């Protein structure tokens, strides 16, 4: 990192306009005879190289090196509602164990709530070395101030090298506040996490609409923080024998004060989510009209599948946004997905490429979807799907049909 310095004593009427014109981003401004650098600066240093000699200077800032040996362990935040643990937590445990093995770190779990000790014991069956429980009435319902205070207290006491948080509604609210408290980086919606032997965690996520995969490292700050979507990582398997221990943590109750008072909690109706589906029928632009969704629905009903699709179908109003797969939709990991008339852009495949079996149908033999599909048919869905429906109704096995 570095910064631009303007030596104002070398600025005069003859060179100030020349200097300002050099910047292609309009980042240099004349403020009553003084040169100021605004937020438009891209650090291209053209003003230093081409500007009046000695007026502008680029200075490298010294970066303080952190003692990484003081930060040990991989910690995961236990996402839950009234003690009912969200499945993304088991996925985070699975990934944390994998990362910890590289550098011989313990795996911690942070559990915030009220009357949750029994639920914390369950986590020991998944390979967590130690579960840290903050059990207070003030933490019964999620309110951001007390949850942040308890989370901060945990980090100060344990100093975990890395923190993994599920990209849920609560996780996306909580993680940025913790990152801000410790002035550290936070990478959102990671799809791949890797650990270096020097304990730097490589956080990989799609960027620029999925056109590149960005590798992000925080070498000079701790803890390293990532949020991870549900159904991206492999969940830890429940073992027959539990290991590790549960530790009850104490915190000054004054720190758990909140300006928010929960008056009532209204539970949503439980909806089927495509993230939990075993079989998905996903449809793309090849569908010509909304009435043709009846064909897709019949096919899905025969297979006991849920319907999903790409962003254009959401924009057309043919499916709702909770049925969209991709970077701007949901991440899914079913046993089987039918990709019908879907080209296979990166933005879409990033949300489903961990599927056990992908079956694609597309008229274009060069469609990118065939690069990720396990099985595929080059053809028109309006010809193939009715035939599959007829074969299934006759009682034939789906594998034999295709």
Is the per-residue pLDDT at 210 higher than 80? no
What's the distance, Cα to Cα, between the start and end of the chain in Å?
57
The CA distances from residue 164 to 98, 224, 371, in Å, are 13, 8, 31
Residue where a domain terminates, one of 256, 290, 306:
256
Note whether 123 and 93 are within 8 A (CB).
yes
pLDDT tens column, 38-67: 988 988 999 999 999 899 999 887 777 889
pLDDT at 396: 62
208, 333: one domain: no
CATH number at residue 280: 3.40.50.1220
Per DSSP, the residues of 126-167 read GT-SEEEEEE-GGGSS--HHHHHHHHHHHHHHH--SEEEEE-
In a domain, 306, yes or no: yes
3-class SS of residue 81: strand
75, 38: one domain: no
3-class SS of residue 79: coil
In a domain, 175, yes or no: yes
In a domain, 353, yes or no: yes
pLDDT tens column, 293-318: 999 999 999 999 999 999 999 999 99
Mean pLDDT in the chain?
A: 92
121, 243: one domain: yes
pLDDT at 193: 97
246, 318: one domain: no
In a domain, 33, yes or no: yes
221, 356: one domain: no
Q: Which residue range is the domain that position 47 belongs to?
A: 2-60
Is the per-residue pLDDT at 399 higher than 80? no
CATH number at residue 216: 3.40.50.620
Tell me what percent of the residues of the chain surpass a pLDDT of 90.
75
Q: Band of the pLDDT at 244, cuts 50, 70, 90?
A: very high
The pair phi, psi for residue 61, each rounded to 5°, is: -90, 140
- Structural domain count, the chain: 3
In a domain, 266, yes or no: no
Note whether 296 and 283 are within 8 A (CB).
yes
Q: How far apart are CA 310 and CA 339, in angstroms?
A: 10
Q: What mean pLDDT do residues 385-398 have?
A: 84
pLDDT at 402: 54
pLDDT at 161: 98
CATH number at residue 8: 3.30.70.20
Nearest to 109 by CA among 131, 142, 124: 131
In a domain, 261, yes or no: no
The more confident residue out of 193 and 262 is 193
Is the per-residue pLDDT at 71 higher than 90? yes
159, 225: one domain: yes
214, 278: one domain: no
56, 88: one domain: no
238, 118: one domain: yes
187, 203: one domain: yes
Q: How far apart are CA 154 and CA 157, in angstroms?
A: 5
Residue where a domain terminates, one of 214, 229, 256:
256
Sheet containing 130-135: give its strands across: 186-190, 224-228, 162-166, 74-77, 107-113, 130-135, 245-248
50, 160: one domain: no
137, 235: one domain: yes
Q: How far apart are CA 332 and CA 317, in angstroms?
A: 21
Is the per-residue pLDDT at 245 higher than 90? yes
In a domain, 262, yes or no: no
Whole-prediction pTM: 0.82
Per DSSP, the residues of 252-321 read -GGGG--S-------PPPP---GGG-SEEEEE-TT---GGGHHHHHHHHHHHT-EEEE-HHHHHHTSS-G
Residue where a domain terminates, one of 256, 288, 306:
256
In a domain, 265, yes or no: no
Q: Band of the pLDDT at 346, cuts 50, 70, 90?
A: confident
């Amino acid at each position: 990192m570095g910064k631009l310095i303007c030596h104002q004593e070398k600025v005069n009427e003859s060179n100030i306009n020349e200097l300002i014109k050099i910047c292609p981003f309009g980042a240099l401004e004349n403020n009553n005879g003084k040169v100021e650098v605004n937020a438009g600066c891209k650090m291209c240093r053209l003003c230093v190289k081409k500007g009046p000699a000695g007026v502008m200077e680029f200075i490298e800032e010294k970066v303080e090196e952190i003692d990484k040996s003081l930060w040990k362990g991989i910690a995961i935040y236990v996402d839950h509602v009234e003690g009912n643990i969200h499945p993304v937590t088991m996925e985070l445990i699975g990934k944390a164990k994998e990362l910890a093995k590289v550098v011989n770190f313990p795996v911690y779990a942070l559990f915030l709530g009220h009357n949750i000790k029994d639920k914390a014991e369950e986590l020991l069956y998944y390979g967590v070395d130690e579960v840290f429980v903050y059990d207070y009435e003030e933490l019964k319902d999620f309110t951001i101030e007390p949850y942040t205070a308890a989370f901060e207290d945990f980090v100060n006491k344990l100093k975990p090298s890395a923190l993994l948080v599920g990209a849920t509604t609560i996780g996306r609210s909580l993680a940025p506040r913790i990152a801000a408290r410790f002035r550290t980086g936070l990478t959102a919606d990671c799809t791949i996490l890797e650990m270096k032997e020097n304990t730097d965690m490589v956080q990989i996520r799609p960027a620029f609409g999925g056109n590149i995969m960005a590798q992000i490292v925080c070498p000079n700050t701790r803890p390293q923080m990532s949020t991870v979507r549900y159904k991206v990582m492999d969940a830890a398997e429940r073992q027959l024998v539990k290991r590790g221990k549960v530790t009850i943590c104490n915190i000054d109750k004054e720190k758990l004060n909140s300006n928010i008072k929960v008056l009532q909690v209204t539970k949503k109706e439980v909806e089927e989510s495509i993230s939990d589906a075993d079989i998905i029928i996903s449809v793309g632009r090849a569908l010509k009209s909304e009435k043709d969704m009846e064909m897709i629905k019949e096919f899905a009903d025969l297979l006991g599948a849920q319907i999903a699709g790409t962003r254009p179908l959401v924009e057309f109003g043919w499916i709702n946004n909770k049925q969209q797969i991709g970077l701007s939709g949901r991440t899914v990991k079913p046993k089987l997905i039918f990709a019908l008339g879907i080209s296979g852009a990166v933005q879409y495949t990033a949300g489903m490429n961990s599927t056990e079996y992908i079956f694609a149908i597309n008229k274009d033999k060069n469609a990118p979807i065939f690069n990720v599909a396990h099985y595929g048919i080059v053809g028109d869905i309006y010809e193939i799907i009715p035939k599959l429906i007829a074969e299934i109704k006759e009682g034939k096995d789906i594998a034999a049909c295709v």
